[in-house]
């Protein structure tokens, strides 16, 4: 299985680290924040009953940007596979994972959009600038039936590399904050998570198990990859919200952050369960005939055992705080080097979800992430 260190290579040949270094070489931290500020719309500011500390503002801005990104790709999933989605084959493939998947997709989309709208509105109410990423909505929509092809996107779901190491991480006693590493559950590399055109969507999607090598198999592999992507993003969201909550000063801002954190954890638990269905019978063995991405039965050799058992969705106790303390079931990781804003933004970008975005987009994201990580509760 591939190592849990994801490839950070971007389509133009620049690795992600080089993109970050270009930003930090060109301008200081505060100048980097100026770049991020240039994409924010002030809007009509409301009277604030009290001003927020600059660190709290930075945290809210980064989280608002993250929720805007998340809202963007969830809208794409919802257009095709939500309860009112317009692509029958994609919906059928999602329903092979769970009959309620279209409803879950629609509800998750509503949640993320509410997070983005609330965080921006709260910033405005406190006399701060909301985050506006509309200048970077330049990426094309899917051409498959059901996708809204009249609008542009922030995110690219055509060739994702999905980090599935969360699956084995939450089934073991190790913690990345203590240096533990984890294998990928499934090697999802260069795989679309929504159909790219109607050639991906056969008119009679088989349920529950499509024939090996058929076009229905590709559709199922795309849906299975989406299920793992759903959980991957919410696993990261659970960690970064946990980490940033430790830096918040204002009790009201802390209330906001931990309240949204609870919803991220709830989402992760649901998607964790559905991803397990993609790697157990009767769906186990699905292979994308175009990319080769394969969803092996994780309950059978050479897998099996607690580390891969597919009906386990609750976190196993792990090392936490200190090695001489008992194991504890917790969100992991939660330290800044593994779960901070920059670490999270880097991991997300390494998935190729921003393929096609210009350097200015990476400048803006890094500025927001660095400011959030620099926040301190007691400064």
Q: For residue 320, what are the β-bridge partners?
A: 322
Residues with Cβ within 8 Å of residue 175, at least 6 apart in sequence: 318, 319, 320, 332, 333
Is residue 75 in a domain? yes
Whole domain around residue 326: which residue ranges? Answer: 16-374
What average pLDDT does this structure show over 264-273?
97
This prediction has a pTM of 0.87
Q: What is the mean pLDDT of the chain?
A: 88
The tally of domains found in the chain comes to: 1
Nearest to 76 by CA among 161, 153, 159: 153
Is residue 7 in a domain? no
Residue 34 has pLDDT above 70, yes or no: no
Q: What pLDDT is attached to residue 304? A: 85
Poorest-pLDDT segment among 22-31, 111-120, 135-144, 288-297:
22-31
Q: What pLDDT is attached to residue 307? A: 84
What average pLDDT does this structure show over 34-53?
52
What average pLDDT does this structure show over 130-134?
97
Is residue 278 in a domain? yes
Q: Is 102 in contact with 226 (CB distance < 8 Å)?
A: no
Predicted confidence (pLDDT) per residue in 102-119, tens digit: 999 999 999 999 999 999
Is residue 6 in a domain? no
Omega before 302 within 30 of 0, i.e. cis:
yes
Give percent of the chain above pLDDT 70: 84
Is residue 10 in a domain? no
């Amino acid at each position: 299985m591939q190592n849990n260190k994801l490839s950070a290579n971007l389509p133009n040949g620049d690795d992600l680290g080089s993109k970050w270094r270009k930003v930090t070489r060109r301008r200081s931290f505060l100048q980097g924040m100026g770049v991020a500020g240039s994409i924010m719309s002030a809007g009509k500011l409301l009277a604030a009953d009290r001003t927020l500390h600059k660190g709290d503002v930075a945290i809210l801005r980064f989280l608002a940007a993250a929720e805007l990104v998340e809202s963007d790709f969830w809208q794409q999933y919802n257009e095709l596979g939500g309860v009112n989605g317009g692509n029958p084959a994609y919906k059928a493939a999602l329903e092979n994972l769970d009959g309620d998947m279209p409803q879950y997709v629609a509800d998750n989309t509503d949640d993320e959009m509410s997070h983005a709208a609330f965080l921006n509105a709260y910033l405005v109410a406190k006399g701060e600038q909301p985050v506006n990423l509309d200048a970077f909505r330049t990426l094309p929509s899917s051409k498959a039936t059901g996708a809204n092809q009249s609008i542009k996107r922030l995110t690219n779901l055509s060739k994702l590399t999905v980090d599935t190491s969360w699956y084995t991480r939450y089934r073991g006693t190790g913690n990345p904050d203590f240096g533990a590493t984890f294998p990928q559950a499934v090697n999802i590399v260069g795989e679309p998570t929504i159909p790219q055109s109607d050639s991906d969507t056969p008119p009679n999607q088989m349920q529950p198990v499509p024939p090996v090598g058929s076009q229905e198999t590709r559709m199922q592999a795309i849906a299975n990859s989406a299920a793992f992507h759903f959980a991957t993003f919410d696993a990261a969201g659970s960690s970064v919200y946990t980490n940033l909550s430790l830096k918040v000063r204002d009790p009201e801002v802390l209330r906001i952050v931990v309240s949204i954190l609870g919803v991220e954890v709830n989402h992760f638990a649901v998607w964790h369960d559905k991803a397990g269905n993609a790697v157990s019978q009767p769906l186990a063995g699905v292979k994308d005939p175009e990319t080769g991405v394969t969803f092996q039965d994780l309950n059978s050799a050479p897998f099996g055992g607690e580390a891969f058992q597919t009906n386990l969705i609750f976190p196993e106790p792990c090392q936490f705080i200190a090695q001489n303390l008992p194991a504890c079931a917790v969100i992991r990781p939660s330290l800044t080097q593994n779960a901070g804003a920059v670490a999270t933004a880097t991991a997300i970008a390494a998935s190729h979800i921003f393929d096609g975005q210009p350097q200015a987009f990476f400048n803006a994201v890094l500025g927001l992430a660095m400011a959030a990580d620099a926040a301190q509760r007691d400064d």
